[in-house]
Amino acid sequence: MQRGPTGEWITTPGAREEARAFLPAALPPDPPLVLEGSLRSALDAAMLALGRLDSVTALLPDPRLFLYVYVRKEAVLSSQIEGTQSSLSDLLLFEIDRAPGVPLADVEEVSRYVAALEHGLRRIRGGFPLSNRLIREVHAELLATGRGADKQPGAFRTSQNWIGGPRPGLARYVPPPPDRVQEFMSALEHFLHEPPERVPILVKAALAHVQFETIHPFLDGNGRVGRLLISLLLWSEGVLQEPLLYLSLYFKTHRDTYYDLLQRVRTEGDWEAWLAFFADGVKETSENAVSTAKRIVDLFAEDRLEIGTSRVPGSALRVHEALQRRPVVSIQNLEEATGLTRPTVGSAVARLEALGVVTELTGKRRNRVFGYDRYLDLLSDGVDR
């Protein structure tokens, strides 16, 4: 449905040239959304897929094992959208104090995304509401070090930003002036607290994401925080028992469509087209996550069965359990995780290597690092290993 612009443009004065900035109307949309026909079917299918994703936590022996690496996969994907080169293995190597194969700054940036998400989850678990204060805290964690650390971490911007083009006058899109950011973010916070009977949660997440990206309240990190907002909102509202839905791969795969639909909302008011795209993304992402979780369960069972027939089944199984929790490890990591001696761990790892369960990643005779190869392959769908 084309309602016309969902806000107004104003001319902002600049030192060298004027620019047209956009001031978004408050949510929910007016005229109201038309949630009928194919769009209603798409939203229902997305909620059904989310329900299946939520039930997968009962299938996993320990959902935290899946969540640990899945969060890191999302961190890599979300950061790759912003231009980093880090792979999943780079991040996991970095986390055990091993040098990654790409610039350190890229991996540090991905690591900050993990820290930001975990901070948000920890605060919500502790009873803190999803609010502007929490959004600023998440942003502060995201830009605490490395690139962006000089871009006002944890604070709404106090200068004009823009998207595309060398300067505001030639930009593809210019968000609201800095003196209006607090006003628009306060309105967005109010919308986030709307009860579900007024705004269904999936619709709320879709609308809130667009509004956040439209306001673009920070000097840097808006895309990553905007994607985190979706996950934190769905989880805080109890749609998922564990925060297992991440849309970065879908947005990355359909990048041009994604940006085009965001702009169409602003210029034409076509919220329904965006909602259909968002619902399809939730359905596709949820189904892929369920499929991956089932394949991981099968993999663990197959490997346990094969390890059980080996010459050192007890110690090898303990090492295998540790690899499920952290699929890239050193011998020292495994000693600490299993409580086994170094020679025993070495023998168990050698057996797992012979069985094809683990692969040595660094090519070193000393301080070697091993990866649970097939597990990493399953988790790395859509992202570089």
CB atoms within 10 A of CB 144: 16
Q: What is the pLDDT of residue 15?
A: 55
Confidence tier at 87 by pLDDT (50, 70, 90): confident
Q: Which residues fall within 8 angstroms of residue 196, CB to CB, at 6 or more apart?
A: 204, 237
| Mean pLDDT, rounded, of the chain | 92
Rounded to 5 degrees, what are φ and ψ at 11? -90, 125
- Distance of CA 119 to CAs 113, 116, 362, Å? 10, 5, 31
**Phi, psi for residue 29 in degrees, rounded to 5:** -60, 150
Q: What is the pTM of this model?
A: 0.93
Domains 7-25+36-291 and 308-379 share a fold: no
Averaged over 222-237, what is the pLDDT? Answer: 96
In terms of CATH, what superfamily is 7-25+36-291? Answer: Fido-like domain (1.10.3290.10)
Lowest average pLDDT, out of 15-19, 168-172, 264-268, goes to: 15-19
Task: Give CA–CA dist 223/230, Å, rounded.
Answer: 11
* 278 contacts 319 by C-beta, under 8 angstroms: no
Q: Which of 126-140, 162-176, 355-369 has the highest mean pLDDT?
A: 126-140
Strand 369-372 with 358-360, pairing:
antiparallel
Q: Where are the domains of the chain?
A: 7-25+36-291, 308-379
According to CATH, the topology of domain 308-379 is Arc Repressor Mutant, subunit A (1.10.10)
The pLDDT value recorded for residue 262 is: 97
Q: Looking at per-residue confidence, does 3 or 383 come out higher?
A: 3
Q: State the Cα–Cα distance between residues 319 and 348, nearest whole angstrom.
A: 7
End-to-end CA separation in angstroms for the chain: 41
Residue 69: the pLDDT is 83
The pLDDT value given to residue 206: 98
Phi, psi of 95 (to 5 degrees): -75, -15
Give 154's pLDDT tier (boundaries 50, 70, 90).
very high
**How confident is the model at residue 312, as a pLDDT?**
65
Percent of the chain with pLDDT over 70: 97
Question: What torsion, rounded to 10 degrees, do the Cα atoms 317, 319, 322, 328 define?
Answer: -130
* Residue 220, amino acid: D
